[in-house]
Structure 1
Amino acid sequence: MVVIEDEAIVLAGYQMLFESWGYVVIAAQSADEALGMLEGGAIQPGFILADFRLRNGQTGTDAIERVRQAFGPDIPGVVVTGDTTVTVDRLRLAASEGMPILHKPVNGRQLQELLTRSFKS
């Protein structure tokens, strides 16, 4: 599993949560960092969770697409956002690209159900 979140404390929280559920987690603050950590190929990502708004104008949808380009287009991904200014068009685009949107605060049970339904081993 790959988690991309630019806020270190939130990233650590996701990592601890997912590891407590038994997942191996690649936790990164950007798509570049995630791809660097995956570079050796020892881990094939089975799921990608990314915050919508990342640093330097990057978005979670772009980050998910970059990981998919490197490891396969069928990897499930979800975008998390707490930003109420995200336009409906951007959210529709994410959904059309197979990226469900979860709004912060994320409900742990909802997230776990989503993972169970879509995680690729």
Structure 2
Amino acid sequence: MDFSMMTSEGRTPQVPDATALPPLVVVIEDEAIVLAGYQMLFESWGYRVIAAQSADEAVSLVEEEGEAPGFILSDFRLRDGQTGTEAISMLRRSFGQGIPGAVVTGDTTVTGEGLKEAEAEGTPILHKPVNGRQLQDILSRSLG
């Protein structure tokens, strides 16, 4: 018998079934404190989270994880002139066009080109301040 796998109670631990893992959520936000807040919130709801400050960082982290995300949330205005719409598109090109996502913005109207593009692609736009109920609702609708 292999004792290395036994717990102190003498039981062999159950290896979690990979299909039972909670969905992987990618959050892209260039403000570190806001990013940490999203990460803590989503983890408190039981999701696994990849938190990144740019689309490039998110792609690298998802590649390291070795699993496509189940949902992508991105702030609209990111560093270096990148938009959340572009970030979500980049992740979808890399990991699957059908990945649901949402863009968070402080803009009160859908006038920016990137926001119009997000809306045309069917990507929901959440207006700041975003509350927990809005996020839970969009995640549960997107992830089932």
**Which TM-score applies when normalising by structure 2?**
0.78
Which residue is 1:23 aligned to?
47
- The AA in structure 2 aligned to 1:63 is A
Match of 1:61, SS? helix
What is the CA-CA distance between 1:42 and the residue it aligns to?
2.3
Which residue is 2:125 aligned to?
101
Equivalent of 1:42 in 55, 66, 82:
66
Which residue is 1:55 aligned to?
79
Equivalent of 1:78 in 88, 91, 102:
102
What is the CA-CA distance between 1:12 and the residue it aligns to?
0.2
What is the CA-CA distance between 1:87 and the residue it aligns to?
2.0
Hey, what's the Cα distance between the residues in 2 that align with 1:88 and 1:50?
A: 16
Which residue is 2:15 aligned to?
none
Q: Which has the higher contact order (CA 8 A, sep 6+)?
A: 1
Contact 1:77–1:98, Cα closer than 8 Å, also in 2: no
Hey, what's the Cα distance between the residues in 2 that align with 1:85 and 1:25?
A: 29
- The AA in structure 1 aligned to 2:55 is A
CA-to-aligned-CA distance 1:31-89 (integer Å, 9 cap, x gap): 00001111135222000000000000000000000000001000001000013476255
Distance 1:32 1:83, change over 3 A: same
What is the CA-CA distance between 1:90 and the residue it aligns to?
3.7
Q: Cα RMSD between the aligned structures?
A: 1.7
Instruction: Structure 2 unaligned segments of length 5 or more: list them.
Output: 1-24
| Range with greater deviation from structure 2 (86-95 or 105-114) | 86-95
| Range with greater deviation from structure 2 (36-45 or 81-90) | 81-90
Aligned residues: 120
Which residue is 1:114 aligned to?
138
Equivalent of 1:7 in 18, 24, 31:
31
Which residue is 1:67 aligned to?
91
Identical aligned residues as a percent: 71
What is the CA-CA distance between 1:117 and the residue it aligns to?
0.6
Hey, what's the Cα distance between the residues in 1 that align with 2:32 and 2:110?
A: 22
- The AA in structure 1 aligned to 2:88 is I
Match of 2:47, SS? coil
Match of 1:112, SS? helix
Hey, what's the Cα distance between the residues in 2 that align with 1:118 and 1:85?
A: 23
